[in-house]
């Protein structure tokens, strides 16, 4: 797996937030036999050791109920992470190994955001952090939040296509997951084919649209089959920088 630090230059970033560190984790899929559990453990330990300014987790935490206990143990190692759920947390998937798990109201560590936002002060700057409930997204493609007077706006949504639906300029940064960087990728010549979501525009990495920057995490776990191929799991620490 990859433990990666990545600089992210954002237009309009308040100077006070230059150098702010955000750990982005996604797609643990705990509760099914997979090397992803070990990758998730390593990622959690790495983030806990580095002590970033924010920890954000963008969904698909568990695939079966037996993973809930392990999730609780792992999240206890982190400093109050912000969390959204994904479709697998509700078994809204074609994966036959996925089962619905009731996490709302049972997340003992961290702040779960379900179509709600929170404003906190970091380095004297007001930062809005909002999270999209996956059921709202799947039903309505909704990511609407009222205007905010905060100085910086961060949106957590499990699904990367949210970038196509948000109001232009409403969010400075979006964090997403979902696609596992393809999970099983077949390289050929100068390209590659994703066996899962082959037509996706947002496999992993950085994307921009109308003044909004999005980071899509490659994630840590697996679905359908318990392995990855040419799609390394990754924990990412984003270091925000002002764009010159």
Q: Which of 66-80, 89-103, 126-140, 141-155 has the lowest mean pLDDT?
A: 89-103
Angle at alpha carbon of residue 243, lines to 220 and 131, rounded to 5°: 40
pLDDT at 105 over 60: no
Read off the pLDDT band of 171 (50, 70, 90). Answer: very high
Please write the tens of the pLDDT for every residue from 197-239: 666 788 899 999 999 999 999 999 998 888 888 789 999 999 9
Confidence of residue 94 (pLDDT cuts 50, 70, 90): low
- For residue 146, give every residue at least 6 positions away whose Cβ sits within 8 Å of its Cβ, in sequence order, or none: none
Helix 68-75 and helix 36-50: axis angle, to 10°?
A: 20
Q: Could you report how far apart the first and last alpha carbons of the chain are, in Å?
A: 32
According to CATH, what is the number of the domain 2-242?
Answer: 3.60.21
120/219 Cα distance (integer angstroms): 26
d(CA 121, CA 14): 13
Which pTM was predicted? 0.92
Average pLDDT over residues 179-203: 73
pLDDT for the residue numbered 143: 63
> How far, in Å, CA of 195 to CA of 235, rounded?
22
Strand partners, 194: 185
């Amino acid at each position: 797996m990859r433990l990666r630090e990545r600089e992210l230059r954002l237009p309009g970033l308040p100077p006070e937030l230059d150098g702010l560190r955000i750990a982005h984790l996604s797609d643990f899929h705990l509760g099914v036999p997979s090397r992803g559990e070990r990758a998730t453990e390593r990622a959690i330990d790495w983030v806990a050791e580095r002590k970033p300014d924010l920890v954000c987790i963008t969904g698909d935490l568990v695939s079966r109920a037996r993973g809930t206990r392990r999730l609780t143990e792992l999240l206890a190692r982190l400093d109050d992470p912000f969390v959204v759920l994904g479709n697998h947390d509700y078994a809204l998937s074609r994966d036959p190994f996925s089962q619905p798990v009731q996490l709302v109201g049972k997340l003992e560590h961290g702040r779960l955001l379900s179509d709600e936002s929170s404003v906190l002060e970091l380095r004297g700057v007001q930062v809005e952090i909002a999270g999209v409930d996956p059921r709202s997204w799947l039903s309505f493609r909704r990511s609407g939040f009222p205007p905010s007077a905060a100085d910086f706006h961060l949106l957590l949504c499990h699904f990367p296509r949210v970038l196509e639906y948000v109001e232009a300029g409403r969010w400075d940064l979006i964090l997403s997951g979902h696609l596992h960087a393809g999970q099983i990728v077949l390289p050929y010549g100068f390209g590659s084919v994703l066996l899962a979501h082959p037509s996706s525009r947002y496999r992993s990495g950085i994307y921009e649209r109308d003044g909004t920057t999005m980071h899509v995490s490659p994630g840590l776990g697996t679905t359908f089959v318990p392995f990855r191929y040419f799609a390394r799991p990754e924990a990412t620490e984003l270091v925000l920088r002002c764009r010159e």
